[in-house]
Amino acid sequence: MLHLLWVLIVGAVIGIIAGALTSRKLPAGWIGNIIAGLVGSWLGEKLLGSWGPHIAGMAILPSIIGAVILVAIISFFIGMSKK
C-alpha cells in the first residue's frame, strides 16, 4: 500500500516536471499530472530503456522524457480541438 502511494507521488512529480518543461498545463489538474507521470514513465521506459537513477521502480530520466513527449502530444491535440 505504501509503495502505491510512493508511485503516485513520484508520478505526480514527474508530470509536474514535464508540464514545467513544456510550459503547458495538463487537463484535470493534479490527477492529470499523476496520469501523465505514470503513462509518461511507461512510455519513456519502453522507448528509451530503464537507465539512470530509479525511484519507486521508475527510471527518472526516461520517465521525464516520456512524460514531456506525452504532454506535448496531449497539448497539441487539445489545442487543435479548441480551434
* pLDDT score recorded for residue 78: 77
For residue 82, pLDDT over 70 is answered with no
Pairs from 49-58 (Cβ < 8 Å, separation ≥ 24): 55/10, 56/3, 56/6, 56/7, 56/9, 56/10, 57/3, 57/7, 58/7, 58/10, 58/11, 58/14
What is the model's pLDDT at position 20?
84
Q: What is the pTM of this model?
A: 0.82
Read off the amino acid at residue 41.
Answer: S
Supply the pLDDT for residue 80. 63
Residue 81 has pLDDT above 70, yes or no: no
Closest CA to 33 of 10, 3, 50, 52: 10
pLDDT digits (tens, 9 = 90+) for 6-23: 888 888 888 888 888 887
